[in-house]
Structure 1
Amino acid sequence: MSARPVPTTHDHDGDLVVFLIGMRINRPLRIGAWLPVLRAMPPMLQELARRPELGMLHATSALGPGGPLVVQYWRDLASLQAYAHAEGGLHRAAWREFNARARRAGDAVGIWHETLVVPAGHHESVYVAAPGLGLAAAFGAVPVGRGRERAAQRLRVAS
């Protein structure tokens, strides 16, 4: 019989930023319109992984509604915005290329993002036999301690 997994939670009590970015393939047969958009993301994620000083803590990719999406965890909003607007960075060039391509391709491919600025005390997590995911991948994991077994106990918001 295997040992019972120890529940863990992420090791961070401060503010954090969750950034969701995805693309929607509206015209699957227009490969020339959406494939370059798809190919633009991996180099940006590699750039961010190589340069932790830019502020992205972790990213994970998934297949979402209509196409791929990336969930990113950032240390703060200022870092995310600085990366988005940095001249000479891969994002700025990819954004310019997307806008030029969008004028030619119409609605064949769409992009979207959502930015969630989460204050301290307004985020919680639990992982049971699921190490290295989400906030735990971004901030590290610690065992769920006594008095923090329930989500409400891990949150520091007034109920």
Structure 2
Amino acid sequence: MSKVVAGRMTHRYDGELVVFHIGMQINRWWRPDLWLPLFSDMPKMLRELATDPDSGLLGFDMLLGAGGPYIVQYWSSIDKLYAYASDPAQEHRPAWTRFNQRARKAPDAVGIWHETFLVERAESIYVSTKPMGLPKATELVEVGRRHDRAHARFADGRTKADSIPSSATSH
């Protein structure tokens, strides 16, 4: 289990950054036969991506929303995200086909949604938390005095490696 990192931390990352939210909305909780197979597909995809260093997946966090589970994923490239989604040899395409077949039989039982963001600049702060979010997916560094306020961190962009003092430590 991850340990709490004391202090004020932020992330450092240089390069294209894509944030991808994907989730399912369970509309008929009493019908696990309709949504559980879909729910079980995601761990296979995440395992496949996590074990392939060239996949482009930097990291992810699983969350629970009002309608069901969702995942925030961090990617190194929009092209790699779309390449994975469309590759018939990967887990996603067969899972998507299965979802569509099930959805035709019970169209309102479970829904799928996603949102994709190409991030130009990102600001983050984590105070006395376990590693999560952007720093877990990229690099966790201390907030320098020069970047003590959110406005300063955002102005510097935080997706550029030179915006963090070189004396900052990483974990």
TM-score normalised to structure 2 length? 0.85
Separation in 2 of the partners of 1:133 and 1:83? 24
CA drift of 1:157 comes to 7.0
* SS of corresponding position for 2:81: helix
* Residue number in structure 2 paired with 1:114: 115
Structure 1 residue runs without a partner (length 5+): none
Number of residue pairs matched by the alignment? 153
- d(CA) in 2 for partners of 1:139, 1:98: 31
Q: Which structure 2 segments of 5+ residues have no match?
A: 158-171
Superposed CA RMSD: 1.7
The one-character-per-residue Cα deviations of 1:114-135 (angstroms, maximum 9, x if unpaired) are 001101xx21111111141100
Indicate the residue corresponding to 1:83 in structure 2.
84
* Alignment-derived partner of residue 58 in structure 1: 59
The answer to whether the aligner puts 1:33 opposite 2:34 as a matched pair is yes
Q: Secondary structure at the match of 1:71?
A: strand
Q: 1:28-56, CA deviations, whole angstroms, 9 ceiling, x for partnerless residues?
A: 12211111110110110000111121100
Q: Distance in 1 between matches of 2:148 and 2:14?
A: 16
Identity between Structure 1 and Structure 2 (%): 49
The alignment's TM-score, normalised by the length of structure 1, stands at: 0.91
The structure 1 segments of at least 4 consecutive aligned residues displaced by more than 4 Å after TM superposition are none
Q: Say which SS state the counterpart of residue 54 (structure 1) adopts.
A: coil
The answer to whether the 8 A contact 2:15-2:76 is kept is no
- 1:13 and 1:69 map into 2 onto residues whose CA distance is 26
